[in-house]
Structures are given as C-alpha cells and as structure tokens.
A and B are shown apart, each in its own frame.
Chain A
C-alpha cells in the first residue's frame, strides 16, 4: 500500500498546468522589465539605500500610477481583476532590479486581505480607502510570517485601547498604516487598522543588512481606536491567515527567482569580459559549470513558482496551497542563496568589494531566506504530512 497523502493529490500530481505566458502576461513582464531597467539602476538603488532609508518615493508613485498595486484586486475594488500569475511576474522584476519600493510588504502580502474584504460592501469601503489610496499599508506579522496574539485590546466605553509590540515589521519604517494583530476583549485574535501617526504608536526604524528594504519595531501604548479599526477577527482571520502565508510565500519566491537570475547574469557578463591567462575566464569549464548549475536552479525554481501561481489562481479558495507554497519557496530560496553566493565567487576579488554589485543581491537573498518561514520549516511541514499522518479511510 502506498503512503497516505493528505494534500489534494489530484491537484498536486495530476493538474495539467499550462505554464506558458499569454500575450497579456508577456506584456506585463516585458513592460515591467523595461520600466525598471530605466528607473532602477543599481546606482539608483545604492543612492536610495544610503540616503533615503530604502524607499524610492518617486518610483513608488510611478508604480502606483501604472496600477501595479491593484493588479490582483477585484474590479469592484478598482483593480484589474488579474491574479497570482501576473503578480509573480511583477515580483520577479522587483527582485531582479532590487526595486526600492515595498511591493512585497504593501502589495503582495496584503492582497489576500484586500481580496477577502472585497467580498462585503463594508469591506469594499475599507479596500477603497486603504488599498487604492497609495498609502503604504503593512502587516504586523513576524519575520517568519506569523500573527502573534501577545498584544491586547481593552474596551473603555466605546473605545478600544491597544497595547503591544510588533518586532521587525517589514517596510515598517515607511508605513502609513499598520495592520496589527491583537487579542480582542472577547478572546479572539483581531486584525486592527492603526495609522502610523496615531497617538501612542511609536515606530522605531531598524538598520537592515539589506538596505534596499526597511524594517521597524512598532509599539502601541494606550492607542485609542474605534470599533471600525477591527478589520477582521476570529475564524475568518485564522483562515485568511492560512492562505496569506501560502500566497505571500509564493510571491516572495518569485522575487527570489528574480534575485537569483540577476546574480547569474552579473556573473556571466563579468566572466565574459574578465581576462586571465590570456582569455576570458568565462571560457574555463570550472566557471562555466558553476554558471550552468546556477541556471538549473533559476529555471527550475521559476517553473515551481509559475506552477504555484497557476494553482493559486485556479484552485478553490479553501484548497490547501501549502504544498505548492513550500515547493516554490524552498526552490526559490535555494536558487537565490546559491546564485548570489556563487556570483560573488565568480567575480573573484572584485566580488568582495563594495563597488561591485553582487553583494547587494547576496544581502537580499539572505534576508528573504528568513522571511515567511525557512527552507527547513517548509520541508518539515511537508515531511509531517507525508510521513506522520495516519491513513484515514472514508467511512
């Protein structure tokens, strides 16, 4: 008897996925590549990292104007009504160019929330007010992608009083609005809309190893809110979060593929030019073979990401995407780590300098590897489901 498999096996092993890009998708990817190529040179990225704390405001405004932030929002909420297949294409480009905009934190990671809120009239109002406003809204999740329940909300008259701390909130230093988890007076977990300027909220910007991205510790001391600040709570929030973790992991994986590919391209370009022993070092097999191994990881990880995005778009909202998220995330993390490490190596001495670019991608790859769960955690999740659960026969 074969092993029991509690993931949806039909979905996992039998879906005939068309992973080719349609004309619209090709256009999205190409126009993003052309636009970011122009706006996001590594010189610009360095300038923004060093002087602007990792946020390119002009670029963010242009990204908003082009509608990239509402690609996967429903049309009812003013979005394009597209999906994860399109979002991952944009994310790849964001990673490839190390764009200093909070596209992951303020667009990709919150898209499932906006999509869920758009289901009701009241929620739609929230989405229009927050998602479509251009304000930077970020989730107060942990680096590993969890919602903690340690912050509390007390009821005082009609007001809610929030106290708590949220550490290393991604893009937190530039957020206009925080979406913070806290335990409500009824005991269930709620997600609260808290504006950065709210009295009692303090935001402590942190210095990051990957300076293209900001982070902040957030603390609330008796922040007073109305009941409308609770955007979602209880079971609805729990199931939203289960999906958000998977979808955000897929989105982050796409960005990692972009990072991996850029590190590979930098190494290939450099080794074609660099001469030693009277010829280009890229003609030596030891160098070629390393580049080829990078390519294998980049292209297979990209296939895993496209497959996961395909499933995310075609599966029922209740289906378990965790297997596909794990697959995309582990492949892309390994591709980004391997490719950026080897890119430094293949650059030789200059790879160790601040002046050359590989370290920018090396930093991003390392920082992203810890976000939304590590390779080991995702593998253990899959291992537990593959190996531990007993066979449950249908009654």
Chain B
C-alpha cells in the first residue's frame, strides 16, 4: 500500500515538473525565482497573468473542496506541489492572501452569495485581496483598532472611516478585508475589548480609499498605508456575524499554516543553495566557523521541514504548532546574517549582480519575518501562556 501511495505521489510530482517546464518559459521567464513584489524581475501585472496561467492548469485551490472548484488533493500532494513549484523556479505567489487566508474563512463563515461571488475570482487569479488589520495604534495589540464602520440609514451600505497600515499589496489588489469597530454588538459573547467588531469586504478602487506605499528598509515597497474616508461597501458584505468580527478575524489568522508554508521553505532552500554556492566559490567555505554555521543552517532547514510535516495535520496539538512561526522566522533571519558574512568584504557595497543583490535583499527582508504576523515577543507570550499554561 505504501508503494502504491508513493507511486501516485511520484506521478503527481512528475506532472508538476512537466507543467512548470512547459509554462514557466517565454514571456513568463523573467519571473523565474523572483521572490515577490520588489524583487528583481517581478512585474506585478505579469505575476497576475502567471496566476491566471496556474489557474488554467488547475494548480490553484489544490486543497479546496471540489464543491468550490478545487481539486481536493491529499495533503502529501499539496506538499509536493508547493515544494516542486519553487524548485522549478516558480515566483512568489501574489494571490496568497486571497487563496490561503480569505478563501477558507469565506468557506467557513460566508453566505452562499458571498462564496459564489468571491471564490471563483480568487481561484481564477483575477481578483486580488489585501488584509486590513493593523493600524498605527494597533499592531501587536490588534484589539486596539479604531477604524469605525456604520450603516448608512438611507442605503443600508457600510460606511468606513479610519486608517490601516502594513497592508501588503494593497496597491495591486481589487479588494481589502477590513476589521472595524461598529456600534452593533449583535449576539456576540466576546469580552468587551473584542465585542462590537465586524469584518468587511471592501472594494479598494473607490473615492473613499487612498493607498500610500511605504518605503521599507529594502528601499522597495510591498506594504502600504490605507486611508478610509467615508469609504463604502454593500450592506451584505460583512463576513460572519456583525459584532463577532474578532472571532472571524482570528479564524482567518489560524489559516496561515499547513502545506503552503512548505512552499516558503522550498524558497528558503533556494536561498541557502545560493549562499553555499557563493561560499564554495569565494573561499568562505574554508573558514571553520562559517562551515559550522552553513551546516547548522542546512540541517536547521531540514528540521523546519520535518516540523512542518509533523504539524500539518489539523489535529496537531497547539503546543507543537505554536513553535513554528518563531522557529522559521528566526532561522530565516539568521540566514540573512550568514549571507552577509559569506559575502564578506563585498557585502558593504551595493552590488549589481542579481546573485549577490538577492543575498543583500535577504539580509534586509528577513528582518520583517520576526515582526509581522505576531512578533517574536508576542509569539513567545502565546507559547508560554497557551502552550505551557504560564500565568498572564
């Protein structure tokens, strides 16, 4: 039986490789190995067309139920897809907020009309979503949000006022989901700080919404500030119960794990291979301390993979799953520092060769890893309080 299963998996792996070889070529060639927005060769328009190409090939919504147009393939094959995709040079996915965060939340909380309206566009790679959670006064303490939503008595529409920040890809998205405060408490049983919230689905391209890119330490912009000044959305476009938006928002954050994180690790593998290759060429590989760090990094990545496989199952205890974000983000940040030490003397110069500039970008970009999606400090609080039961 094992044999049979592995044969099916290998056939699937071959299918992914063959499709990638045939399609990530020609006009899509510049996207090869591009990590995402701001990276060399990453043209957002082209990346969207690439998502549509993937959709035509049946590679989006792999784990979705067939009811929603997905392929419902087993976890092992989702792992294979995400890993082979990156090995074949597949670029960073521009649609991941829609596909891996919003879609499962829509499936869990959306009305039939919402599912029908939004899932097909996410699956086809035609609609892109941004996440409107953080605010200038609400980072780690997300419950401190102040953006307000109320209903227009005349039209029944939602009217939104406030500001969001760190909104990835808002300038390339059609929609944003916005966590806002409302006076309607509904049937919420949440604590006072968490009650009276609503998660709204809001079109970005309208007069009441202004998107301003933030220039990051990399010099490029993925993140934005988004201002809502009387922005509007339809009265039926709240996701889940009004007043219980916090619960829906938390469910969405919980979707960020599983097979897709293995794709991220396959990209880490690519970065580490660049560093190993450089160390072999420039002599850093002869330094005994650099050798120890490279071996440690290589084995550390395999441990992250083993841990992701061990915790990909939904029945994984929180204790096991809770360490993942801290583990991968700190591994990756260390890798950025190692990249610079392997670059050595050259590292102080702005380098034009893409093979080198990618390593400098890694050094800078990886500083964000231990900050977004729960800082190291918040992650450690969660582990201590919820996994180890230490007092608040």
Contact = CB atoms under 8 A, between A and B. Distances in A.
Interface of A: 1-3, 12-14, 16-20, 264, 268, 271-272, 279-280, 282-283, 285, 287-289, 291-293, 295-296, 299-301, 303-304, 306-307, 323, 326-327, 330-331, 376, 379-384, 386-388
Given A268-B390, A287-B390, 10 more contacts: A2-B277, A271-B390, A280-B391, A285-B377, A285-B380, A292-B379, A292-B383, A303-B307, A382-B295, A387-B285
Interface in B284-316: 285, 288, 291-292, 294-296, 298-299, 302-307, 309-311, 313
Given A3-B273, A388-B285, A304 B306 contact: yes
Contacts of A304: 299, 302-303, 306-307
A306 B269 contact: no
B323 A272 contact: no
6 contacts: A17-B309, A282-B391, A296-B383, A331-B299, A376-B292, A387-B294
Contact of A268 (B291, B380, B381, B388): B388
A288 B385 contact: yes
A283 B391 contact: yes
Contacts of A383: 285, 291-292, 294-295
A38 B380 CA distance: 33
B390 A291 contact: yes
A386 B384 contact: no
Contacts of B311: 303
A2 B280 CA distance: 10
A296 B391 contact: no
B73 interface: no
Interface residues of B, number: 51
Contacts, number: 152
Given A283-B392, A388-B285, A16 B292 contact: no
Interface of B: 6, 9, 13, 76, 79-80, 83, 269, 273, 276-277, 279-280, 285, 288, 291-292, 294-296, 298-299, 302-307, 309-311, 313, 319-320, 322-323, 326-327, 377, 379-381, 383-385, 387-392
Contacts of A264: 388
B291 A14 contact: no
A289 B291 contact: no
Contact of B390 (A20, A283, A386): A283
A331 B310 CA distance: 16
A295 B304 contact: no
A330 B299 CA distance: 9
B306 A306 contact: yes
Contacts of B295: 326, 379-383, 386
A379 B292 contact: yes
Nearest to A334: B296
A296 B292 CA distance: 21
A387 B342 CA distance: 13
A14 B298 CA distance: 14
Nearest to B382: A292
Contacts of B379: 292
Contacts of A1: 277
Nearest to A282: B390
B387 A295 contact: yes
